Structure 1
């Protein structure tokens, strides 16, 4: 098997299909993704995707070369300005198409521009659904808290998301514990806990657990650059 290094991270080619193509996740959510895709296409929500989040792993080791890196950073910056998932998908598809000769490398055993595009768009769509779900949760909590406390909890969520390089698998769980702990009144603490639990049990959170896996980073992950 080939291996490659990106930044301080080493990956085996044998692990690549799990990172780029988590088929079990994709298949288990495919029908639900189709069911909610129509509303997601019209939802305006900044994804705040970081250059060094797990998103960069979608493009392989050649991404760290200066020419492609600059184009990638420009692409992500513009990606975060897009207001629809459709626009984001078009931008990413064009980036891979226009830079495939620079992106392809020895690690690409069986990975084509088409398969890279499919996997990357799935990861992108998962982030869109994650952000939509979290913003929906914030909307449920907001009326139940004083403005200052809500702002504290909301800012904490997105700060932890950024610190974790958008590995929501860890950030969200940690945020819940800290958010509840930040509420001092016992009755209010119970009210917010119940609100979170009820939202997690709703259809708005239907794909959240599976979507997190697209952005789950390995231990010690430090990014691509």
Structure 2
């Protein structure tokens, strides 16, 4: 069942599909507690709920929160949806699995948008405004043996994500790749991306990666 995407909410795309694919390959304990950061339509959270997990989904957008709740009701799946900034709504809790498809697209604007559709993908000059926060804060929310699965573009520095997660004591590696055609957002700023050496001339491709980071026992 394809999730309903309300206007202004990020519709599931290649990165969503890649994250769900990796989620399905992840062994979960019975009744695992799962957190989805930046849930959007709830597509990834609902995929976890279908595996029998107890899922909490968080998004800063009221519209996304409503969208995820509607999709959970349509799918008849239990899903706790909370509004808030990244991990703030679940302070003090811990999870077996943390999932995230955060905004990660490099933007000429230094700050994340406060409203509008671009809020779902733009993440500052290097695309790392939210990635860095997740790398810094998420390890403390993992139970022993817990796993973080994160999808991002190679344009926003997968090696830096690995470095930060390893520095936090996690065992982190890139476990999946997918090359996709450059979409309309990147095409619209291709000259700027090329000037920064992030996009090769006539490349026309973007690489998505899944980073898996495990908290050791």
More strand by share: 2
Specify the structure having the higher radius of gyration (Cα): 1
- How does the TM-score come out when normalised to structure 1? 0.28
- How does the TM-score come out when normalised to structure 2? 0.29
More helix by share: 1
